[in-house]
Structure 1
Amino acid sequence: MRDVSRLYVEDFPTLDEQDLKIMLNQAWWVLGNAELNRTGTNPPRFAATIPPGLEVEICLQSTPAHFGGVRWWYTCPYCSSRCGRLYLHEYDIGCRKCLNLHYRCQSIERIERDRNKIKKMRHAIWGETEPEINNLLMTTSAFKRPKGMHRNRFLNMLYKLEELEGDHFAALLPVLKARHRGERMKYKPGE
C-alpha cells in the first residue's frame, strides 16, 4: 500500500442520503463536530457551523425521479457540483474531490488488486461452502460445481476465473524470480 499521506473517505463522517432524509424533516442536525441548521426551504438550504466558528452554506438540488417524485442531491459549497455525499473534514465540509480525499482501494498495489479480484470471483462461484477458497495456490479444478448452478454458467465463470488467475501468475512469476535474486521489479499484468 502507498504511504499514509493520503486522506481516505472512510476516515471522515459523511452527509449521505440517510442524513438527507432526516435533514429535510428537521430544522437542526449534528454531524461529527458540525451543527447544521435549516436556513431556507425552497430549495432547502443548511448552514453548517464547524468549530472554530466557520460557517459553510450547504444547498440542495433536485432532479426528477424516473417514476415521479424527486431525488435530492447535495451541492458542494466549493465546486457547486451535484453529489450524493459531502464529507466533514477537520475544519471544512465538501465533496471528495474538493477535499482531496481518496478511496482506500486506490492505494492498493496492482498485485493485491488482482488477488482481491480473484478471491471475489471465487466467492461469487463457490461462496463460503469451500474452506480453502481463499488459498490461491489451490487450483480451481479442486472445487466442485456448486449445487443448483447451471453447468454453462459455471463453465463460463470458471473460464473467466482461470484466465484471470493465469494472467496473474504469469505476471507474478518474474517478480518472484527477481525477488529471489534480490532485485526489485514492478508487477506488470498482461505482459
Structure 2
Amino acid sequence: MDKPIIKNLGLQPYLPIYDNMHHFTLTRNADTLDEIWLVEHPAVFTQGKVGKPEHLLHQTPIPVVQTDRGGQITYHAPGQQIMYILLDLKRLKIGIRDTVSFLEYSVITTLEHYGIAAKTKADAPGVYVNNQKICSLGLHIHRGCTLHGLALNVDMDLTPFNDINPCGYAGLQMTQLKNYVTTINRDEVRQILTESFVGQLPLNS
C-alpha cells in the first residue's frame, strides 16, 4: 500500500481548507491515494459538531466557525502546526481508536525529540505536558475515511485560549513547544511529526 501524499500548504484561511477536505473526501474512490495536509490558519475558533456555545466565554473579533469534527471549541492561529489526515481507514483496516492513538503518539514522539516528556489522558483526547495541553485532536469519519486531525502548539500567541474552555474543559491551561525549546526548526517539527505518524500506518498489510 502506498504511503500518503504529504502536502505542506503553509498559511491558509480555514474555510477553504475545510471545503477542500470535504471535496477531496466526497470525490475520492477506492484507488485514491491518502493525503496528509500540513497547514497553519489565521486566527479562528472552530467549534465541534456537538460543541456547546457556552464554552466560548467572551465574544471577540476572532471568527467562530462551526465544523463537523468531534470535540468542543478550540483555537487556531499562526505558529500552530496543523496536520489534517485524509485516510481510507477501511482500506488500511484500522479503527478510529487506532487512528487517535497514532496521532497522539506522533506528537509524543516529536516532543521526545526535543527532550519533552508528554502523555495522553484517557478521558480527554490530546497530548499534555505537565498537565497543560499542547496538542488538540478532532476527527470526522465519512464512509470510512477521515477528515481533520491534530493541532500542535509550536510558537504562537496562546492568549485567545483564555476566551474559551479549551476542548470543553474549564480552566484547562495550554502550552507550546516554544516554552521548552529555545530554537525551533519548523521544517524539522513537520518532518518528525509526519514521519512518526506515517510510520505507524499498516502500509504493508
Q: TM-score range by the shorter chain?
A: under 0.3
**Which structure would you say has the larger Rg?**
1
TM score, norm. by length of structure 2: 0.24
In the superposition, the TM-score normalised over structure 1's length comes to 0.25
